[in-house]
Amino acid sequence: MELTLADFVFFVIVGSFVLVPVFAIISRTLHRREENRALANRVICRLCLRAFEDIGHTKVVICSTCGALNERGRSRRLG
């Protein structure tokens, strides 16, 4: 089977139309995963409102600025 120049150009164009969206989807997925990991490690102090990262796995985190105890995740408490 001989590959003509027109066939080669056609395959290159079709290949790029297929590969560019695939790479874009992979890139967005990896970026979203990295953002979710960063947000999971972020803690906002309920007393001084300082945002900091804590990579530990404890449920209660101590603020490095004011020393207040903060629960990890969203809290529904009002006080």
Q: Give the global pTM.
A: 0.61
77 assigned to some structural domain = no
Please spell the DSSP secondary structure of 52-72, one letter per residue: EE-----SEEE-TTT--EEES
Give the other-Cβ count within 10 Å of 78's Cβ.
Answer: 4
Domain coverage including residue 45: 5-71
What is the average pLDDT across 14-39? 95
50 assigned to some structural domain = yes
Instruction: Check residue 4 and give its pLDDT.
Output: 95
- Number of helices (H), then strands (E), belonging to the chain: the values are 1, 4
Instruction: Check residue 8 and give its pLDDT.
Output: 96
Q: What is the number of structural domains in the chain?
A: 1
Reported as a single tens digit per residue, the pLDDT across 27-78 is 999 999 999 988 888 888 888 999 998 888 888 999 989 999 988 877 666 6
Q: Is the pLDDT of residue 19 over 80?
A: yes
